[in-house]
Chain A
Amino acid sequence: MTITQAKHIILAEDDEDDAQFFEDALNSVPDSPNLIRARDGVELTGLLHELDSLPDLIFMDLNMPRKNGTQCLREIRNLAEFKELPVVVLSTSNSEDVINAVYQSGANLYVEKPSDIQSWKNAIAKVLSLDWNIHRPHAVKDRFNFKDF
């Protein structure tokens, strides 16, 4: 089975450091996709409405000013045109409660932010290769948390 790698991705992240780590790691991936950056939730939802074509994948931090990740997710899932958009949530938290809340809100995947650059690279490479027909929102919980597989 061939998986078409994503061409356009959006990263919603307020933290400049984390955004840089993400960018550095993404650039190390072969055929790295185009990256559009949003600095908070409001920017993200604004972008989604402004863009001519929808991105292939969204990476999203949870803790963001103005509109946080969970709120964004709800908004996206409530609109028919965005319903099928794959959303990967990035967070420093490993709390079960947080993970559950994200799952309920309709994210496709949960990734705990790695604490070294190599792990970042590995994680991004792997996430980009995933089949989003399998990792659908509200799908099997075992395949929701990135570190579980």
Chain B
Amino acid sequence: MERNLIRQNIWLRYFLQIVFVAAVYFILARLSLNLQFEKSNATPVWPPSGFAFAMILLWGYRIAPGILFGAFAANLIIFISQRTVDYPLAIFLSSIIAIGNTGEALLGNYLLKKFIPNLDLKQLFSRTTELFYFSITALIMALVSSLVGSLTVFSAHIISVFQFPIVFVTWWLGDFSGIILITTFILIWYGYFAYKKGSIPTAQYRFTESILVLIAVILATGIVFHNWLIDYSAFNFPYWIIPIYVWAALRFQQKETITVITISSIMAIMGTVHHEGTFAHLPLNEALISLQAFISIMVITKMSLNITVQERKKTEESLREIGAQLEERVQKRTLQLEERNEFVETIFNSSIDSIFVLDQETRCISINKIAKFNLRIPFPESIIGQKFNELPVNSLPIGSLEDIHNALKGNMIHRSQIPSPVSDSYFEIDYIPLHNSTGVYAALIIARDVTQRIQYEKELREQKVFAELLIESSPYMIMAYDHQYRITAWNKISEEHNNLLKKDALGKDTFKLFPQYDNDTWRSAIDKVIKHGESLHYPKIKFTNKPGWGESFVTPLRDSMGKVIGALSITRDITDLVQMTSALEEKNSDLIKTNEELSSFAYVASHDLQEPLRKIQMFSKRITDSEQSLSATSQDYFSRMKNAAHRMQQLIEDLLVYSRTGSQKGNFVEMDLGVIVQEVQDELKDDIVQSQARIIAHDLCSCYIIPFQFRQLLLNLVSNSIKFAREGVPPVITISSYSIKGDRTIHPFLENDRMYCHITVSDNGIGFEPAFSEQIFRLFQRLHGKTEYPGTGIGLAICKKIIENHHGVIFAEGHPGTGATFIMYIPQQPR
């Protein structure tokens, strides 16, 4: 149903097209045939031909019937209304002429498509060649129609043989000019509307100008063809209009140009028909023929002009466009080249290698920054342009001419450790050929300063040698292992100790070389070091391959980043040390035993020696007490015996104290010395009273002492002072003390940084010779006879021992008759 509808629509549209073409053709034909020559149906103005041709071109052959009907109807009505022929003949003649008219359009369509194979109706007049073919086509097709028409009316005796040429030419020219004007007009406007969407909008001044050109053409045509304003024959020449056509053709596009010419043509025809203007003096037919010729020539020439101008404009525009594109591309390319150049230049100059570029003649083309510097000459650029072998020696770039020539032949060459001709440096040189499309055009010499590297390598070698020397000359066994327990270091001592040469040890798995160590203990020990970075110390390990002991340190070996790369073991043979130590330990235990024996001896001495002595004393006393009859001599003997026994008891007691002072190490406690002095005073109360002694103690400090020993010390000193008092002079004993730093004293045995308690005990007694100041501290040393000053000679020896127990020093100063002073230093704080 729909298809039917579409088909119906197509047929309807076709029908309407036919009717439209027939109607328009008929109206145009009726208007034109009013101007026919001698009722011959030949008219110098025939726009229907142009219309018909345009329609055939646009809508195709299928609208030919429309033309046929239109032409037939128009001719028939003319024949009938003028009554030139009979009714049937009129139909026949009209048919022939209509067929001629239709054939004309069909032929034009055929010819134009032959002449222009890729015919595009939308831009038919964009080129002059197309306008030329179009004009040729118009001439030929008009010839067909006019020949058919004029022969028809001649054979129907409507015109005479004399009129035939005029009718033919009129007919031909009329058709031709109709085609030239109307077809062109229709197709140009059709092309414009078909292209309207893409067209550039007309600028304001163009619009104003187009109004001006329209006014100008109307005015000019009016003056020339209608005798407007001034009726003067000088202004009746048609060429007055030409400049305005040229103006339109030059300044506007085809549609404006053709419109201006069309308006002007219509005005000109109207004027000529009314016997006005240029051709007014001629008969109407001649005037119209002249006008049509004028119009045709104008259309063809001005359209050619316009097309040429448009073509040139287009060409200029596309040239400009191409130029702009080209410029853009050139700019882009230039930028790329600049960037590329900058890139290459930067690399060239920022290279730390010296680079020389030499051409085929070994002329220096370019050198980079570092090369200029490395040449070490005042104007390094001066070598540019000079040949390599002509350069002065001191500005010689690194390299050899032979290598350069080889490189210029296309070979890449590498040289290492080349000494510089101008400095102490060493270079590594690369010769690199540079190619372009014609082959090698230059060569690069790239010289890298490797002085530092060579120096570094040398130092590294020396360091390595030094390190190896250190390891080799070590008196200790030095070995190292990597992660796979492979031996990486093995020194001379290791060789000797293990009876294995370095070359046989290096790289071997230590646990395979020494299976006796391949147990969990040693594996986990090395793992601790290698995997966990721990350091191990084995103070005493027994050798497995020979008698003896070693002390071993196993530490991780780290690289510069701190990563553990292996384990280092350093072992020293401590066999002698161990033996010595064990001998020492033996001696020590002997000593302890001896000491124990000694103290038991002291005990025996104290107890068992005193026992008989006490009895001698007791029995002798009982005798003297109970026996009254003893002689004076016996009594004296008994008295002496008692004295001797007493002295011996004293001696034993003092010896006992002395031996105890050495063996008993008491506890140190902080104590006020004043308290000790008071205790001593209490103990010696009887002696003090008896001797009228005075004890002055002041400013006593407190310090760390062994109380019972210190009491003994002061007891000995004070009782000495009482004992050695001068005859008739009551003893005055001064005890004082103060703190002092070790380095402030003159005594060399005191430690500099330690605080000491400085204690003095001085008296006003008999004193002693300064020569004895050291001797008096010796055991059993006495300066006086037993009867004068009783004593055992042990007391001061005990004092010295006590002070030594306190890590102090004691010394005595004295002069005979003036008294004695005992000076002591003991540390204030325990050690």
Interface residues of A (CB under 8 A from B): 15, 17, 21, 63, 92-93, 95-96, 113, 115-117
| Distance (whole angstroms) from the CB of A17 to the closest CB of chain B | 5
Interface residues of B (CB under 8 A from A): 603, 606-607, 610-611, 614-615, 617-618, 621-622, 625, 656, 660, 708
Partner of B621 from A63, A95, A116 at Cβ < 8 Å: A116
Are A116 and B607 within 8 A (Cβ)? no
**Docked complex Cα distance between A117 and B615 (Å):** 11
Are A113 and B607 within 8 A (Cβ)? no
Give chain B residues whose Cβ lies under 8 Å from the Cβ of A21: 618
Are A93 and B606 within 8 A (Cβ)? yes
Are B606 and A95 within 8 A (Cβ)? yes
| Distance (whole angstroms) from the CB of B275 to the closest CB of chain A | 178
Tell whether A117 pairs with B610 under 8 Å between CB atoms, given A17-B615, A95-B603.
no
| Distance (whole angstroms) from the CB of A80 to the closest CB of chain B | 33
Are B617 and A115 within 8 A (Cβ)? yes
Give chain A residues whose Cβ lies under 8 Å from the Cβ of B625: 117
**Docked complex Cα distance between A116 and B617 (Å):** 8
Are A117 and B622 within 8 A (Cβ)? yes
Are A115 and B614 within 8 A (Cβ)? yes
**Docked complex Cα distance between A96 and B656 (Å):** 12
**Docked complex Cα distance between A117 and B626 (Å):** 12
Partner of B614 from A63, A92, A95, A96 at Cβ < 8 Å: A92
Task: Using CB atoms, name the residue of chain A closest to B615.
Answer: A17
Give chain A residues whose Cβ lies under 8 Å from the Cβ of B656: 95
Partner of A113 from B614, B621, B708 at Cβ < 8 Å: B614
**Docked complex Cα distance between A46 and B676 (Å):** 48
Task: Using CB atoms, name the residue of chain B closest to A62.
Answer: B607
Give chain A residues whose Cβ lies under 8 Å from the Cβ of B622: 117
| Distance (whole angstroms) from the CB of B715 to the closest CB of chain A | 15
Are B611 and A92 within 8 A (Cβ)? yes
| Distance (whole angstroms) from the CB of B664 to the closest CB of chain A | 8
Give chain A residues whose Cβ lies under 8 Å from the Cβ of B618: 17, 21, 115-117
Give chain B residues whose Cβ lies under 8 Å from the Cβ of A93: 603, 606-607
Give chain A residues whose Cβ lies under 8 Å from the Cβ of B617: 115-116
**Docked complex Cα distance between A135 and B684 (Å):** 29
Partner of B607 from A63, A96, A117 at Cβ < 8 Å: A63
Are A117 and B606 within 8 A (Cβ)? no
Q: List 26 A-B contacts (CB under 8 A).
A: A15-B611, A17-B615, A17-B618, A21-B618, A63-B607, A92-B607, A92-B610, A92-B611, A92-B614, A93-B603, A93-B606, A93-B607, A95-B603, A95-B606, A95-B656, A96-B708, A113-B614, A115-B614, A115-B617, A115-B618, A116-B617, A116-B618, A116-B621, A117-B621, A117-B622, A117-B625
Give chain B residues whose Cβ lies under 8 Å from the Cβ of A115: 614, 617-618
Task: Using CB atoms, name the residue of chain A closest to B645.
Answer: A115
Give chain A residues whose Cβ lies under 8 Å from the Cβ of B610: 92
Max chain A CB contacts within 10 Å: which of B607, B617, B656, B708? B607
**Docked complex Cα distance between A137 and B603 (Å):** 25
**Given A92-B610, A113-B614; 17 other pairs, CB 8 A cutoff:** A17-B618, A63-B607, A92-B607, A92-B614, A93-B606, A93-B607, A95-B603, A95-B656, A96-B708, A115-B614, A115-B617, A115-B618, A116-B617, A116-B618, A117-B618, A117-B621, A117-B622
| Distance (whole angstroms) from the CB of B642 to the closest CB of chain A | 11
Minimum-distance CB pairs A-B, first 9? A115-B614, A17-B615, A93-B607, A116-B621, A92-B610, A115-B617, A92-B611, A92-B607, A116-B618
Give chain A residues whose Cβ lies under 8 Å from the Cβ of B708: 96
**Docked complex Cα distance between A116 and B624 (Å):** 12
| Distance (whole angstroms) from the CB of B656 to the closest CB of chain A | 8
**Docked complex Cα distance between A21 and B617 (Å):** 13
Give chain A residues whose Cβ lies under 8 Å from the Cβ of B607: 63, 92-93
**Docked complex Cα distance between A115 and B642 (Å):** 12
**Docked complex Cα distance between A9 and B660 (Å):** 36
**Docked complex Cα distance between A22 and B618 (Å):** 12
Give chain A residues whose Cβ lies under 8 Å from the Cβ of B611: 15, 92
| Distance (whole angstroms) from the CB of B603 to the closest CB of chain A | 7
**Docked complex Cα distance between A116 and B646 (Å):** 13
Give chain B residues whose Cβ lies under 8 Å from the Cβ of A92: 607, 610-611, 614
Give chain B residues whose Cβ lies under 8 Å from the Cβ of A116: 617-618, 621
Task: Using CB atoms, name the residue of chain B closest to A113.
Answer: B614
